[in-house]
Structure 1
């Protein structure tokens, strides 16, 4: 599929975003996302697709750009960007919608999952690029200093965790941070959730993501497999970025896995029985177990001669360390459960 083959009149609001800006759309099949963007983001995707295949493997597939009129985006807009907290305040789940007609068309990373659990990690201690005005720099520096962005080089920017149906009520201490999606069975964690963590307790956020339900044997086995996959992918991305001279301010890494335990088991069986020679063009239609991609390149540029992007890499390395610690802990729990049977 390409941007040219999309029917703009059939675009609809995209509901699986864990963070980012309002105004993200999807096609009827749900296989692509169409999001407001800057020309710089389009240029970055084009340059990666043309000259950096090793990095392109870890980005959503770029399918082109679209110009959508305000009417076209208004026809598909919904009020999905806010949440009323326990104190009656309205917090934004996502950033404000960009005031632009330019949209980028990308692979939908959550396509192929029945119930995608999504974790969005915003990278970098410095969150602004050189074009940012002084007041924006000061505001973002304050956010960084008060969160794990400053201490670890990343923070949890958003999260969706499948809890099942009927979805359990959100406990009182999380009312300011979580909204229950009763139809989908998810808890949706807003951007303020990740800001409450310090370097000492941010692991708790990862645990809530990896173990959204009771630690049954099936959930433990799934967690071990998913964490091992995530860790391998993050390490691979680190190796690629260490060879690139980029600056990716406010880019994110997106972790996705199948949140429905039974569906996860079914997908494993489906993938085991799928023969490579039979897949061909149908490979993209196979269900998925997990995925890791880098996203959000509105402030990404190439900087020849400046060396690798240590700002983003710090966050990637911190993420890898946490994933390794959780994997080791999960393996110990799996071994203990095996011994007790």
Structure 2
């Protein structure tokens, strides 16, 4: 896609980010994400296109780059704010906007969903790359040691779930972790939500994600289908990265599925009647049921001769294990409900 397609004055703030840095934008159609980036991230995407085609299905489509200064865009600077933790530390809800005019243009993974339910899992026990300063290493090592990053190789970095037109109030015990978005009908879980879990209880976060409402039969059926799809995709990602000699610090797996139960059922019918082999996928512009992609490669490099990235793979494997447990449990619940 040519970057000339974009009129900077018509870019707008991207509203579906579950985690990451401030300063992310989208175009009028919502089909792309334009985010501040490092040259290393662009180099990684370009190297994937040139030499690692087996990774392409598991990453957002790379559409090029933009040089975009603050005066080029009509979007006001937005700070996502901070939260004070129980031990008195002040934490940003999102990372600071990267101080750069360089932007990467990517497929918006949440495009094609009416009400996308989003889960961002940050991979790795080691969260810093070799260029990081000692103080940053110490800070991130503390985060890892106190969360499932250290024990499982991943942590929940952010989450967004659709709760319906009449979005319920957030329970008092979750008010430090969740904001109610009444306009979108969603609960938005900040990065501190994932930090409260230990290895034994982190599956509760996954349950909150795949069952944002009551466990009705339609929700059980949807959860079973979504979990099976997620598990298959994560296994495919593991298989590909086991053959790669890369190092990815701060990379994530992003999970998305249709949060509106009625829309999910309607989309299933549309997809059953569609015949993508007869037409170009872009022309069909079909809605989506679910998607899984690897994202965030600001600190991703190739390390020929060093073997696979076990730091990231450990988190992928832990994720696959939890998804398998939840799928088995959900299948039993579906079977019990059918009896």
TM-score (normalised: structure 2): 0.96
1:82 aligns with 2:81: yes
Structure 1 distance, partners of 2:92, 2:135, is 20
SS of equivalent residue, structure 1 residue 119: strand
Contact 1:13-1:78 at 8 Å conserved across structures: no
- Offset of residue 70 of structure 1: 1.9
- Offset of residue 279 of structure 1: 3.0
The aligned residue for residue 304 of structure 2 is 304
- Offset of residue 223 of structure 1: 0.2
Structure 2 distance, partners of 1:298, 1:308, is 18
The answer for unaligned runs of 5 or more in structure 1 is none
Say if 1:167 and 1:78 are closer, same or farther in 2 by CA, change over 3 A. farther
SS of equivalent residue, structure 1 residue 97: coil
Contact 1:92-1:190 at 8 Å conserved across structures: no
The aligned residue for residue 32 of structure 2 is 32
- Offset of residue 78 of structure 1: 5.3
Contact 2:85-2:91 at 8 Å conserved across structures: no
Structure 2 distance, partners of 1:78, 1:212, is 31
CA displacement, residues 289-326 of structure 1 (integer Å, 9 cap, x when unaligned) = 00000000000000000000000000000000000000
TM-score (normalised: structure 1): 0.96
Structure 2 distance, partners of 1:72, 1:83, is 27
- How much is the aligned-residue C-alpha RMSD, in angstroms? 1.7
- Offset of residue 79 of structure 1: 3.3
Contact 1:241-1:308 at 8 Å conserved across structures: yes
Structure 2 distance, partners of 1:271, 1:2, is 30
The aligned residue for residue 130 of structure 1 is 130
Contact 1:231-1:324 at 8 Å conserved across structures: yes
Say if 1:78 and 1:263 are closer, same or farther in 2 by CA, change over 3 A. farther
The aligned residue for residue 113 of structure 1 is 113
SS of equivalent residue, structure 1 residue 66: strand
Contact 1:85-1:177 at 8 Å conserved across structures: no
Say if 1:272 and 1:111 are closer, same or farther in 2 by CA, change over 3 A. same
CA displacement, residues 220-254 of structure 1 (integer Å, 9 cap, x when unaligned) = 00000000000000000000000000000010000
SS of equivalent residue, structure 2 residue 263: helix
CA displacement, residues 138-168 of structure 1 (integer Å, 9 cap, x when unaligned) = 0000000000000000000000000011211
* Matched length: 338
Structure 1 distance, partners of 2:79, 2:137, is 28
- Offset of residue 4 of structure 1: 2.9
